Structure 1
């Protein structure tokens, strides 16, 4: 694989002209993608090409309008990227990275649907649920959402969850509120986590779109991942069939098994975000001229680009080792917490460098970097904040929990 080879000619005729998408480059300095088989590499390149050509060019416009590009779903479905983890954790991770490299919001939409909801049905659902729901989920004919966080509870959700589920004959009655639920405004199914009033344990329940008492309202005025439709959810005596309970969920540990893998997915996002920032910063620096020559020829710019690709490469190397651990069944929440905290810390530094290289134009979404810079803040916070994940690592290395 050629290092730093542009995949197509630069389309930045002049870097004062907004709205143009720069090329991406092969920035795999350690040839880590050589770990893929020929078939895996073919699938990886096919996915990357689709995401760069179909998703990235439209992302800024939809981000500015805070609208979801529903017209992308059919073409995304044709790529057959759902259930990718069954083809191997490294291939799945690299494709997750490329999703975020193209756009974080679309990456989040897909991850919530595939990594969280669809995986929950596959691993924790009943045979009937898998038979009736999975085919449409895998084909993206139906979309799922994952409702865990509440308005007053995020990091402490396992201890303090207030949403309740009460058995009533052959039904469940759900009451409570959820917040920051991606896809929830248009999802066909929402997996709601609630505390069973009978035994006090947290379990998962499928709520279908249009169920009386279920209301999802979009959260507006976000400065990050503006394409993804996050929602506040209200559950007011929502009655669902008893069979809508996921039988594989009996305690919060069952939800935690899903969060382990989603935390890894978000860490891959953090790597993709760094390569996105590098792509834009490098293309800009190659074309932007000051004092009669491209700013890429200046020592300070080259040092900043070197730091960006170094951060991204170190993060990628860590994630490849996590893929190995997942493939051999040795992956733990401590590993996932290490990845989430370290990759997102590197990501923050990398996108800040990229925004600096693009200068004043770096605060305008017309030059893409401002979107990348802002979207990094969501990755830094969701699926366990940096602080919470750092404390999980601290507990692992000391044997002492710093949680109250």
Structure 2
């Protein structure tokens, strides 16, 4: 299948991909346009996730990119970024599902699991046979998870007893396993656990009333004396550094998703500008509308250049926390501007789902906040600039 560069990829960054990567991206885009775009507004309005997309995502390899145990071919971080972009430009919720399944759940096992755990769990998660979630954020601990984690783990022989609460956990209403991060009562260090959601004492309750990423099934999790065998403790997770290593990889892909969300809103606004007529001609022929669209494209192009570079650095082993943090902070801020301008270009019709822009406008707010707020990512970069931590 031939790859056509997006019109919104104004400087043709897609040309950096190999021919095989371009073909894989073209197949993904064709499926998204054919099978996903027609259903997302209805599912978004009903706040339901379309489970029928899981199997095709697995078959396309989207749930297995990056991991040695399952990758169909050698692929670059830039390619994986473009996958995140393509998903988000059609729907940010589908992109978030993949980010949780592949980046956070599989990523935790790949980064902090033993060889045996990698062999057992990564193929099962990558095939969609097992759905995963990532339990870090808590009701009273979000940005301060490194120090403020309240969920506890107590070892009793070959069993760990987990107690605590988690909040905003994506996929958690239907996940088969959740990676739970808890503080060891013995040494005070954060450790990770693969927790089957059928375990007694584990419960997940869907968070209702969301106005952003409505298709994503976020849940409040309660852990009451949840018994987990030692064999399900992530064997290489000995402190919060293991958690940070997972987030370092996924934070950059959230930046890519932000660019995709901005593109989705921009493309909707361009379609509207070409079709909507006022004063006897398409509104796209008016200077003020063109000004809004050019601002959108400028933000997209600048952000795309940044995320391409940060992914190249990941491929070369050069990416540090401050690099992904700057990309996430910058790209999500520019996304927020862009979806606002796109909505403005659509006038009153920009607040209804019919033209897609409203969905991207709403979903942008969640991407702006998760995987580290702009403020927290700014402090990570600020520490790198000045040599001084200013987190508290």
TM-score, structure 2 normalization? 0.95
Task: Quote how far apart the aligned CAs of 1:69 are.
Answer: 0.4
TM-score, structure 1 normalization? 0.93
Task: Quote how far apart the aligned CAs of 1:91 are.
Answer: 0.6
The residue aligned with 1:133 is 121
The residue aligned with 2:71 is none
Q: Work out whether 1:325 is the aligned partner of 2:313.
A: yes
**Aligned partners of 1:71, 1:33: CA distance in 2, in Å?**
29
**Aligned partners of 1:333, 1:342: CA distance in 2, in Å?**
14
Check conservation: 1:142, 1:187, Cα contact below 8 A: yes
**Aligned partners of 1:134, 1:36: CA distance in 2, in Å?**
26
Check conservation: 1:184, 1:231, Cα contact below 8 A: yes
Q: Which moved more, 1:141-150 or 1:124-133?
A: 124-133
The gaps in structure 2 that reach 5 residues or longer are: 68-74
Query: What pairs with 1:176-195 in structure 2 (closer than 5 Å)?
Result: 176-195=164-183
Query: What pairs with 1:363-382 in structure 2 (closer than 5 Å)?
Result: 363-382=351-370
CA RMSD after TM alignment: 1.4
The residue aligned with 2:19 is 38
Check conservation: 1:25, 1:279, Cα contact below 8 A: no
Which residue, out of 60, 63, 66, partners 1:85?
Answer: 66
The residue aligned with 1:52 is 33
Query: What pairs with 1:39-118 in structure 2 (closer than 5 Å)?
Result: 39-86=20-67, 87-118=75-106
**Aligned partners of 2:307, 2:111: CA distance in 1, in Å?**
23
The residue aligned with 1:16 is none
Q: Work out whether 1:120 is the aligned partner of 2:120.
A: no
Which residue, out of 280, 290, 314, partners 2:278?
Answer: 290
Check conservation: 2:58, 2:64, Cα contact below 8 A: no
Task: Output one character per residue of 1:27-48: Cα deviation in whole Å (capped at 9) or x when no partner.
Answer: 2211111111111111112112
Check conservation: 2:170, 2:217, Cα contact below 8 A: yes
The residue aligned with 1:165 is 153
The gaps in structure 1 that reach 5 residues or longer are: 1-6, 8-23
Which residue, out of 367, 385, 388, partners 1:397?
Answer: 385
Check conservation: 1:117, 1:191, Cα contact below 8 A: yes
Task: Output one character per residue of 1:287-328: Cα deviation in whole Å (capped at 9) or x when no partner.
Answer: 000000000000111111111011001100001101110011
Check conservation: 1:181, 1:231, Cα contact below 8 A: yes
**Aligned partners of 2:259, 2:58: CA distance in 1, in Å?**
24
Check conservation: 1:100, 1:272, Cα contact below 8 A: yes
**Aligned partners of 2:310, 2:35: CA distance in 1, in Å?**
29
Task: Output one character per residue of 1:240-266: Cα deviation in whole Å (capped at 9) or x when no partner.
Answer: 111110001000001000011111111
Task: Output one character per residue of 1:171-192: Cα deviation in whole Å (capped at 9) or x when no partner.
Answer: 0000000000000111011000
Q: Work out whether 1:204 is the aligned partner of 2:192.
A: yes
The residue aligned with 2:163 is 175
Task: Quote how far apart the aligned CAs of 1:122 are.
Answer: 1.9
**Aligned partners of 2:117, 2:176: CA distance in 1, in Å?**
14
Task: Output one character per residue of 1:151-174: Cα deviation in whole Å (capped at 9) or x when no partner.
Answer: 001011111111000001110000
Task: Output one character per residue of 1:322-352: Cα deviation in whole Å (capped at 9) or x when no partner.
Answer: 1110011010110011001110110011000
Task: Quote how far apart the aligned CAs of 1:25 are.
Answer: 5.0
**Aligned partners of 1:191, 1:177: CA distance in 2, in Å?**
13
**Aligned partners of 2:54, 2:102: CA distance in 1, in Å?**
13
